[in-house]
């Protein structure tokens, strides 16, 4: 049947080409029109495959070249050509070869006074121009000059024809040669005049599509440097800015405003960042050759084409199948390759890090875990383990000398009782409205009145005393004689007075211990001050924090504000008020005061733009010119209830969760002293967009320059003259970790819990990298019990290899606290496993405010293949420890590296699979012969069932070439660990499950750490190697939670599988990150088809047939 249809169509097409009979031609055209008017594009593509395009084009040429062209044939022929040509990617080339371009141009010139005939010619030209090379040929043959004759100033006549002409012109100007021709002939000024005229007169917005097409012409011209220069010289910025100001909120003008904004952004003059150097303000004399560029591969949208000389090329001439070239398809490289990257004898040094396997427990029990010095003991207040999943944290005041009692009361809510039992069926939490005050209980009167006005005034008076500096706690810890210094005693006395006046209840934190630990923290610039939030501590927010609802049009508003600065520079203050490079600039008093010279701080420069608006620049990573994302800085001198706007103008990533509900975090000192020591989400009118700054040519050597992005947000502070800290995410510093580990080690029962903290190695900056071992003490020192103890398998967990991913540390904090708790799940885990934990792989980066790199400017998670002890000591020794465990038959059951993710929501993992990688890449090598342990999927599936924040749908098990040197891939390949993971936690929050619509707080992240531990237990209980003893022990300890345990041990039903979730929910407006956005559907099939259909439905109304029926149908060629 198909062959008969094919032969019948071919007969019709041959008849059409060879017939000279008018009636036959008209009949065939009618049959073809009827055939293509129904069904899908499949019929048109089938006709193309049978030579339909060539037949129609040949008929056009033959008919047009007759002595008296018959428009009764030409008009339906043009309509068919338009419909078919839009689907034929080689249509332009075919038209060129058959000389249909010249014929159509001649017909158009002859019909300038006949709107219907001209309209059909324009439709054909529009299809021809969809090919850039054909469009360039039309430009050479005078098509643009013809179109400028057709496009008049504003008129209400022939609008359909004028729209078609402007759209043809916009399509022609996609060709760079045509755009250059337009610039040389002064068409930029002509287009601006036309835009002004149509915009000013079209008050009813009846001709929006004509106005949009005129702006598209300017957009394509502005793709050239010479076009942008001509646009600026013709006052184009001022014209477009003024003509669009009254239409910002008019939704009917959305097509016009979108393109106008793109033109303004393209033509905004590019400038380098206002910095003295592209490299970091901090340097570190690292040994070895420092890489000239960090191993980051920028995306294509990170660069902008500045040149004019590129030749016109068609990108759509052939159907091309895009392949993910980053996927590893070499089976040999995907297969496990156990081996050593160092001499085997070097592994002996790691025996000292596994003393639990060799030492006598009589000696260990007699030895303190990690003795504190007398000053720390004097001021320490230890805390019990709180419920990991409970939002209500507790502080108990029991005597810490009662080690012999197991603290059964510390976990009021067992972990199994908090695990999710399926997807949330409740209503999603409503989004936070723009402008909501984050401090609901604080009055914005500058005094922070709580319950007693006098109490607050006393606080303010106290803060003004010489002994306490509200702006920053003095910390002269770097002085050699610190322990005996007067400054030290004064600081301790101040802290004591503050604690007496304003007692703080922060679990696992003590300001005195923090102060003592801070002495040993070494920074590149020798920080002499501490951030108050680190000293005082943080308690999780008592209420959920919903994602911020995006204000419609906020990006557009902010971009127009940037453009206003360019057009009206007199309104801009432009005063530097803070600079790491020029510290003498930091003396301004009539504005906000900024500081970032404290641990994990990052702010390089602050420029006052207007009274309450500041441009901020963050510092690059030490010894690097890249990775501007993390920020953490102090602000003081603010007024209450006044909106302040902050624009961080040198961000690098082309997208951010700040566009999808995420907010920065803020900590108020006055709120903390009032009993609310909390980092809270803050800010409104938030958006993230590409700006006009570009990488300096001095850095690129004249090559394409990297683009930068602006994060802008407004903040209303709760108090006058407060001190507040703003950060990208909840900070978690190295000193806070060391304080936490110290208190944690003293909060456990050493007769039950084996907790040992030691040093993995010293970092390049001279800071000890901690290694923690957690398991249960053996029941006794008998041979059987010691043998059982030493046969326990290992889990190895790491975190914070990327310093800016502070969320990973909060997850790790939850893991550590849970593992030493009295929860029955934790007890089972300790009794059956040994945990080796490196909670911070990059202490130097964390201390110095880096986002991604070490002090050498290297991404340490790209150094696992061949780390060197002198250059990447933490990676070298972490890998050495893993090698050692494998060598003694204790390869970890699970290896997991905790990370943070800035582009996605929820929590998810990346794992490694040979088959999934090969299936995705579709290589020539088959996968049938590949054998693989599929257990790598079990733990993520368990987490998907038990952890509220986790989603399986975002997990991936592909192995990319660019990730070959990451911890996940190296441990999987070289150590032979099938369950080797990277666990990613969103900076933002969840779009699924019980936490849908909520931003993550620290309690959610800590809960995820505890749930990860629960997943490890269930993984073991589900395994075929699980011992009967463990199952019996689980039944005994978890008898009160047997239903919950049964639920988590069930096999996952198909109905419970989570469907794929869109990573980003749609915003109220499209977010355009680059001028060359694909947001304008120029020349889409449906749009041109719709124009033809509209013409057919209105052809009897006489709107455009002013010549009268039949006139102009037989104009001479």
Q: Distance between CA atoms of 616 and 647, rounded to whole angstroms?
A: 6
Residue that is written with structure tokens 């230890």 in the block: 382
Supply 10's token pair.
């071919």
Residue 1081 has pLDDT above 70, yes or no: no
- Give me 468's structure tokens: 């306490």
pLDDT at residue 1046 above 60? Answer: no
Q: What is the pLDDT of residue 933?
A: 80
What are the strands of the beta sheet with 907-910, ordered from one edge? 753-762, 768-776, 834-838, 794-799, 894-901, 980-986, 907-910
Return the structure tokens found at 201.
Answer: 């007169």
Let me know: does 117 contact 72? Beta carbons within 8 Å.
no
Give whichever of 512-516, 624-628, 684-688, 1019-1023 has the largest mean pLDDT: 684-688
The percentage of the chain sitting over the pLDDT mark of 90, rounded to a whole number, equals 58
Helix (H, G, I), strand (E, B) or coil at 35: helix
Find all residues with CB under 8 Å of 510, minimum gap 6, and list them.
379, 380, 381, 739, 743
Q: How far apart are CA 503 and CA 1034, in angstroms?
A: 41
Where in 598-731 does DSSP place strands (E)? 605-610, 613-617, 632-636, 643-651, 665-668, 680-681, 684-694, 707-716, 723-727
* Per-residue model confidence as pLDDT tens digits over 263-318: 999 999 999 999 999 899 999 987 766 665 544 444 444 444 445 555 555 554 44
Tens-place pLDDT, residues 750-766: 989 999 999 999 999 99
Q: What is the pLDDT of residues 113-157, one digit of tens each?
A: 999 999 999 999 999 998 888 999 999 999 999 999 999 999 999
Among the listed residues 257, 239, 121, 143, the one whose alpha carbon sits nearest the alpha carbon of residue 191: 239
| pLDDT of residue 428 exceeding 60 | no
Residue 1056 has pLDDT above 80, yes or no: no
Confidence at residue 290, expressed as pLDDT on a 0 to 100 scale: 64
Q: Is the pLDDT of residue 594 over 60?
A: yes
How far is Cα 766 from Cα 769, in angstroms, rounded to an integer? 9
pLDDT digits (tens, 9 = 90+) for 167-187: 999 999 999 999 999 999 999
Beta partners for residue 644, in sequence order: 715
Q: What's the CA gap between 211 and 792, in Å, rounded?
A: 74
What is the 3 state secondary structure string of 497-562? HHHHHCCCCCCCCCHHHHHHHHCCCCCCCCCCEECHHHHHCCCCCCCCEECECCCCCHHHHHHHHH
Mean pLDDT score across all residues of the chain: 81
**Lowest pLDDT segment from 298-307, 695-704, 720-729:** 298-307
Beta bridge partners of 545: 999
Residue 475 above 50 pLDDT? no
* Environment class of 954 (CB within 10 Å of its CB; exposed 0-12, middle 13-18, buried 19+): buried
pLDDT at 300: 41
Question: Is it the case that residue 489 has pLDDT exceeding 70?
Answer: no
- Here the tokens at position 119 are 């309209």
Look-up: residue for tokens 């150094």? 863
Looking up tokens 């004019």 gives 308
H-helix segments, 206-294 = 208-221, 225-233, 236-244, 254-267
| DSSP letter for each residue of 626-650 | ------EEEEESPPTT-EEEEEEEE
Structure-block tokens of residue 696: 């300096």
Residue 1111: is its pLDDT beyond 50? no
Each residue of 567-593: pLDDT tens digit? 999 989 999 999 999 888 777 778 999
Sign of CA dihedral 474, 479, 485, 489: positive
Share of the chain above pLDDT 70, in %: 76
Better-scored residue on pLDDT, 668 or 324:
668
- Give the pLDDT confidence of 894-941 residue by residue, as tens digits: 999 999 999 999 999 999 998 888 888 776 556 666 777 888 999 999
Task: Provide the terminal-to-terminal Cα distance of the chain, rounded to the nearest Å.
Answer: 43
Provide the pLDDT for residue 560: 93
Is residue 368 pLDDT above 70, yes or no? no
* Residues assigned a catalytic role: 984
CB contact set of 239 (below 8 Å; sequence gap of 6+): 192, 195, 196
Question: 917 Cβ partners below 8 Å, 6+ apart?
Answer: 327, 328, 329, 334, 957, 958, 959
Q: Which of 111, 166, 175 is nearest to 138 (CA)?
A: 175
The span from the CA of 918 to the CA of 910, in Å, is 16
Question: How many residues in total does the chain contain?
Answer: 1117
Q: What is the average pLDDT across 787-803?
A: 95
- pLDDT value of residue 611: 95
Only one residue has tokens 């000591």, namely: 873
Helix (H, G, I), strand (E, B) or coil at 883: helix
User: Would you call 419 helix, strand, or coil by DSSP?
Assistant: coil
1083: left (phi over 0), alpha (psi -120 to 50) or beta: left
CB 679 within 8 A of CB 667: yes
The reported pLDDT for the residue numbered 924 is 54
Q: Please give the distance of CA 17 from its chain centroid, rounded to a whole number.
A: 56
- Rounded to the nearest 10°, the torsion over CA 939, 940, 944, 950 is 120
pLDDT over threshold 50, residue 27: yes
Does the pLDDT of residue 1003 top 70, yes or no? yes
Report residue 350's pLDDT band, with 50, 70 and 90 as the boundaries: very high
Q: How confident is the model at residue 401 (pLDDT cuts 50, 70, 90)?
A: very low
């Amino acid at each position: 049947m198909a062959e008969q249809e094919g032969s019948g169509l071919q007969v019709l097409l041959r008849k059409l080409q060879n017939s000279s009979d008018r009636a036959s031609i008209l009949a065939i055209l009618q049959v073809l029109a009827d055939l293509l008017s129904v069904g899908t594009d499949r019929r048109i593509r089938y006709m193309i495959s049978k030579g339909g395009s060539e037949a129609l084009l040949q008929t056009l040429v033959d008919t047009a070249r007759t002595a008296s062209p018959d428009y009764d044939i030409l008009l339906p022929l043009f309509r068919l050509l338009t419909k078919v040509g839009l689907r034929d990617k080689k249509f332009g080339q075919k038209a060129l070869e058959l000389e249909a371009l010249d014929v159509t141009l001649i017909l158009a010139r002859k019909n300038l006074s006949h709107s219907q005939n001209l309209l059909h010619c324009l439709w054909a030209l529009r299809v021809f121009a969809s090919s850039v090379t054909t469009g360039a040929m039309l430009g050479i043959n005078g098509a643009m000059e013809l179109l400028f004759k057709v496009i008049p100033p504003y008129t209400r006549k022939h609008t359909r024809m004028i729209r078609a002409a402007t759209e043809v012109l916009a399509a022609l100007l996609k060709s760079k040669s045509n755009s250059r021709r337009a610039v040389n002939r002064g068409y930029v000024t002509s287009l601006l005049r036309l835009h002004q005229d149509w915009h000013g007169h079209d008050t009813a917005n009846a001709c929006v599509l004509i106005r949009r097409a005129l702006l598209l012409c300017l957009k394509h011209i502005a793709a050239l440097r010479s076009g942008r220069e001509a646009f600026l010289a013709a006052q184009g910025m001022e014209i477009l800015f003024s003509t669009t100001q009254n239409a910002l909120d008019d939704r009917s003008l959305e097509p016009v405003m979108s393109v106008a904004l793109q033109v303004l952004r393209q033509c905004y003059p590019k400038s380098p960042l206002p910095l003295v150097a592209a490299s970091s303000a901090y340097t570190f004399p690292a040994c070895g050759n420092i890489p000239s560029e960090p191993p980051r591969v920028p995306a294509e949208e990170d660069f902008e084409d500045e040149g004019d000389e590129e030749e016109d090329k068609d990108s759509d001439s052939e159907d091309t199948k895009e392949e993910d070239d980053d996927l590893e398809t070499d089976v040999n490289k995907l297969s496990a390759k156990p081996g050593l990257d160092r001499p085997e004898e070097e592994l002996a040094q790691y025996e000292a890090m596994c003393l639990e396997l060799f030492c006598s427990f009589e000696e260990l029990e007699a030895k303190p875990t990690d003795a504190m010095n007398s000053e720390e003991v004097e001021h320490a207040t230890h805390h019990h383990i709180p419920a990991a999943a409970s939002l209500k944290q507790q502080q108990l005041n029991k005597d810490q000398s009662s080690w012999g009692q197991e603290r059964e009361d510390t976990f009021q809510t067992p972990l199994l009782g908090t695990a999710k039992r399926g997807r949330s069926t409740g209503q999603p939490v409503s989004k936070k409205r723009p402008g909501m005050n984050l401090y609901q209980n604080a009055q914005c009167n500058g005094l922070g009145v709580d319950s007693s006005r006098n109490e607050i005034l006393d606080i303010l008076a106290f803060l003004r005393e010489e002994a306490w500096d509200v702006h920053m706690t003095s910390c002269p810890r770097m002085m050699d004689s610190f322990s005996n210094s007067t400054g030290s005693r004064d600081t301790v006395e101040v802290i004591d007075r503050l604690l007496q006046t304003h007692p703080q209840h922060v679990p696992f934190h003590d300001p005195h211990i923090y102060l003592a630990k801070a002495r040993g923290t070494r920074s590149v610039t020798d920080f002499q001050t501490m951030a108050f939030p680190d000293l005082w501590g943080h308690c999780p927010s008592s209420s959920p924090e919903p994602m911020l609802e995006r204000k419609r049009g906020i990006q557009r508003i902010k971009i127009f504000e940037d453009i206003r600065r360019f057009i009206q520079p007199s309104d801009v203050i432009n005063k530097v008020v803070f600079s790491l490079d020029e510290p003498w600039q930091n003396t301004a008093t009539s504005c906000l005061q900024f500081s970032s010279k404290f641990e994990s701080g990052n702010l390089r420069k602050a420029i006052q733009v207007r009274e309450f608006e500041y441009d901020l620049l963050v510092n690059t990573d030490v010894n690097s010119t890249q990775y501007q994302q993390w920020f953490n800085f102090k602000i003081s001198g603010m007024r209450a209830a006044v909106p302040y706007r902050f624009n961080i103008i040198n961000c690098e990533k082309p997208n951010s969760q700040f566009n999808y509900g995420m907010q920065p975090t803020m900590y108020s000192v006055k709120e903390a002293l009032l009993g609310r020591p909390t980092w809270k989400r803050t800010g409104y009118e938030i958006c993230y967009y590409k700006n006009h700054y570009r990488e300096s040519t001095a850095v690129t050597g004249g090559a394409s320059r990297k683009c930068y992005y602006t994060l802008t947000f407004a903040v209303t502070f709760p108090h006058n003259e407060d001190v507040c800290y703003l950060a990208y995410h909840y900070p978690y510093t190295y000193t806070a970790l060391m304080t936490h580990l110290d208190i944690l080690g003293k909060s456990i029962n050493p007769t039950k819990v084996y907790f040992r903290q030691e040093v993995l190695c010293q970092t390049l900056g001279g800071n000890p990298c901690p290694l923690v071992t957690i398991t249960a003490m053996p029941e006794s020192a008998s041979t059987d019990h010691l043998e059982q103890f030493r046969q326990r398998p290992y889990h190895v967990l790491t975190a914070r290899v990327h310093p800016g991913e502070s969320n990973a540390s909060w997850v790790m904090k939850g893991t550590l606290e849970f593992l030493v708790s009295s929860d029955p799940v934790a007890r089972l885990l300790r009794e059956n496993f040994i945990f080796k934990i490196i909670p911070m792989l990059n202490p130097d980066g964390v201390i110095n405010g880096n986002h991604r790199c070490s002090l050498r400017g290297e991404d340490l998670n790209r150094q696992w293949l061949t780390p060197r002890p002198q250059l990447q000591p933490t990676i070298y020794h972490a890998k050495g420890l893993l090698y050692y465990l494998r060598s003694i038959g204790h390869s970890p059951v699970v290896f997991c590296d905790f990370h943070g993710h800035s582009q996605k929501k929820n929590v998810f993992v990346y794992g490694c699979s040979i088959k999934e990688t090969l299936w995705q890449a579709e290589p020539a090598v088959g996968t049938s012969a590949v054998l693989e342990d599929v257990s790598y999927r079990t733990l993520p599936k368990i987490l998907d069932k038990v952890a509220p924040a986790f989603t399986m749908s975002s997990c991936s098990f592909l192995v990319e070439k660019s990730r070959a040197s990451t911890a996940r891939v190296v441990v999987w390949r070289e150590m032979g660990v099938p369950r080797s993971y990277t666990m990613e936690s969103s900076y933002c929050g969840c779009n699924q499950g019980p936490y849908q619509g909520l931003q993550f707080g620290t309690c959610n992240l800590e809960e995820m750490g505890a749930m990860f531990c629960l997943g490890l237990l269930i993984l073991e209980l589900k395994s075929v190697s699980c011992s009967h003893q463990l199952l019996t022990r689980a039944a005994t300890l978890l008898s009160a939670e047997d239903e919950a345990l049964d639920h988590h041990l069930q096999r996952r039903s198909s109905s419970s599988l989570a469907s794929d979730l869109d990573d980003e929910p749609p915003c109220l407006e499209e977010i355009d990150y680059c001028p060359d956005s694909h947001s304008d559907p120029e020349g889409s099939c449906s749009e041109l088809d719709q124009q033809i259909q509209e013409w057919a439905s209105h052809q009897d109304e006489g709107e455009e047939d002013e010549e009268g029926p039949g006139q102009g149908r037989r104009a001479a060629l």
